[in-house]
Amino acid sequence: MKKLILSAAIILGGLSTMSAQEAMPEQSATPTEETMPAETAAATETDATTATATASTQTGYSEISNDEVPSAVSDALVKAYPNATVSKAYVNENNQYQLDVKVDDKEGSLFADENGKWIQN
């Protein structure tokens, strides 16, 4: 039960982050826009994908194929979220991975280091 509640909270938190970032214009981001509440952004599924790509570019993550994700990260995902499927994977210069995942009908992003330990980003 704890895992179910935790996974729902992580996924919903990731979705609200994507919604808030989607509301920001790419060309001129000011501190006021960066702290905009997620409730002001209405995201469609296509907009959420665009926001994820934008967020990944802005945070130093570059897209990789799902095959390039280390087995430790994949194993941690399977252990924590057995029903999750990875739609996209990203890596940054610190070997931290961002996984865009879908669990049932919910989508979000998870972050892990190269050893498969979950990190908050």
Going along the chain from its start, the domains and CATH numbers come out as: 2-119 (3.10.450.360)
Residue 48: Cβ within 10 Å count: 20
CA–CA distance, 98 with 37 (Å, rounded to integer):
22
CB 15 within 8 A of CB 108: yes
What angle (nearest 5°) sits at the alpha carbon of residue 2, between those of residues 72 and 39? 90
pLDDT (tens digit per residue) in 42-52: 333 444 444 44
Could you tell me the pTM of the whole model? 0.53
Question: How many Cβ atoms from other residues are within 10 Å of residue 114's Cβ?
Answer: 14
Tens of pLDDT, residues 61-76: 999 999 999 999 999 9
pLDDT in tens, 88-116: 999 999 999 999 999 989 999 999 999 99
